[in-house]
């Protein structure tokens, strides 16, 4: 029982770090073998120190060996059962890149939806804003992976480029479905047009809502290095197709927020314009923008208030619906 519990805990830990099933199974095997060796070592030591219990311990050791043989024979089945408990299903996509330019493949029109507006209420400027201090002061968590929302858990990995996370793992805790999204073609290429990015962009933030994955892919550098960067995208999690890509240079912050039909994101960099952008979540169209004094990093919503941390200024906005 202890071996199964330990193995399951290790399996869950490896899941959170993005290991695949074969890697988890190898660790499970090693854990089972190590546990068996420890049981036998303890039995032998006990036998040496107390000869009066030799016969009883011999019987126990034989019983343990029989259990171990039975466990080895049924290891594949037990792994399958345990994985069934962890994952109802596993879905993997290498998401194709239609283009690095803005497009909308939904047939929807952003003018058919209502969107929020923002009214600035507070602004505190300083030489440099420590975002972690700002987050703690206001009761937030500094945005970053891994994280979990009300339904999904998200982890990123960087198998292609050690400096850029291009794979997203998302687990639906309600259904047990584990998703793997390889977004490397979206981050670097090639696109269906045959284009490549001048830099490898990376996943900054992601959120699944109504079976659509919304993700920001960013380049933390000058836009002159890669003007077709820092987009928002929407991906259908049923088939892994891209529904829309926003125009470039709208999202390079730590996170974004989705409120009703509006995505709140922002872009800024040294010697470049700094804005909070409002996008229609159905099409990726820009439906509003608000200039700020420096690059917006993190967005948090509490009630009807939007809190924004930028490079050197903290803002509060009233959200108007």
pLDDT (tens digit per residue) in 25-60:
443 334 344 444 443 443 444 444 444 434 444 444
pLDDT at 228: 96
Q: Which of 22-36, 162-176, 203-217 has the lowest mean pLDDT?
A: 22-36
Q: What percent of the chain has pLDDT over 70?
A: 73
Q: Does residue 70 surpass a pLDDT of 90?
A: no
| Burial of 162 from C-beta contacts in 10 A (0-12 / 13-18 / 19+) | exposed
Report the domain count for the chain: 2
Q: In this structure, are 30 and 116 located in the same domain?
A: no
Inter-residue contact 272 to 284 (CB < 8 Å):
no
- 108 pLDDT band, cuts 50/70/90, is very high
Distance in angstroms between the alpha carbons of the first and the last residue of the chain: 55
Which tokens in the block code for residue 1?
């029982």
CA–CA gap between residue 50 and residue 48 (Å, rounded): 6
Domain that holds residue 249: 90-320
Q: In this structure, are 224 and 301 located in the same domain?
A: yes
Q: Where do we find the tokens 């792994």? A: 79
Q: Which of 134-143, 158-167, 174-183, 300-309 has the lowest mean pLDDT?
A: 158-167
The enclosing domain of 235 has a CATH number of 2.40.128.630
Q: In this structure, are 104 and 63 located in the same domain?
A: no
**DSSP labels for 109-161?**
-GGGS---EEEEEEEEE-S---HHHHHHHHT-----SSEE-SSEEEEEE-SSB
CA–CA gap between residue 229 and residue 74 (Å, rounded): 51
Which pTM value belongs to this model? 0.74
Residue 252: closest CA among 234, 282, 227, 235:
227
Q: Which of 82-86, 107-111, 122-126 has the lowest mean pLDDT?
A: 82-86
Q: In this structure, are 76 and 150 located in the same domain?
A: no
Q: What is the pLDDT of residues 249-302, one digit of tens each?
A: 999 999 999 999 999 999 999 999 999 999 999 999 999 999 999 999 999 999
pLDDT at 160: 86
pLDDT at 65: 43
């Amino acid at each position: 029982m202890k071996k199964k519990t330990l193995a399951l805990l290790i399996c869950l830990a490896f899941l959170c770090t993005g290991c695949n099933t074969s890697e988890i199974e190898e660790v499970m095997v090693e854990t089972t073998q190590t546990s068996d060796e420890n049981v036998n070592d303890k039995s032998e030591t006990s036998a040496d120190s107390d000869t009066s219990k030799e016969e009883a311990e011999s019987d126990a050791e034989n019983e343990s060996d029989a259990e171990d043989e039975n466990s080895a024979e049924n290891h594949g089945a037990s792994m399958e059962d345990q994985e069934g408990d962890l994952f109802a299903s596993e879905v993997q996509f290498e998401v194709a890149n239609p283009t690095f330019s803005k497009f909308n493949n939904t047939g929807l029109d952003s003018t058919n939806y209502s969107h929020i507006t923002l009214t600035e209420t507070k602004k505190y400027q300083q030489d440099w804003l420590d975002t972690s201090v700002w987050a703690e002061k206001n009761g937030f968590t500094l945005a970053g992976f891994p994280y979990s929302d009300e339904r999904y858990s998200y982890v990123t990995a960087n198998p292609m480029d050690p400096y850029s996370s291009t794979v997203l793992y998302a687990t639906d805790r309600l259904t047990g479905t584990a998703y793997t999204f390889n977004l490397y073609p979206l981050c670097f290429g090639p696109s269906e047009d045959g284009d490549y990015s001048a830099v490898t962009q990376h996943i900054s933030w992601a959120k699944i809502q109504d079976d659509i994955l919304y993700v920001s892919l960013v380049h933390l550098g000058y836009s002159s290095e890669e003007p077709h960067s820092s987009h928002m995208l929407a991906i259908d999690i049923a088939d892994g197709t891209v529904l829309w890509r926003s125009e470039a240079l709208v999202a390079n912050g730590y996170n974004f927020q989705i409120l009703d039909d509006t995505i709140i994101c922002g872009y800024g960099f040294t010697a470049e314009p700094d804005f909070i952008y409002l996008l229609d979540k159905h099409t990726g169209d820009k439906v509003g923008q608000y200039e700020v004094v420096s690059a917006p990093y993190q967005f948090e919503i509490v009630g009807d208030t939007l809190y924004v941390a930028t490079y050197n200024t903290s803002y509060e906005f009233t959200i108007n619906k």
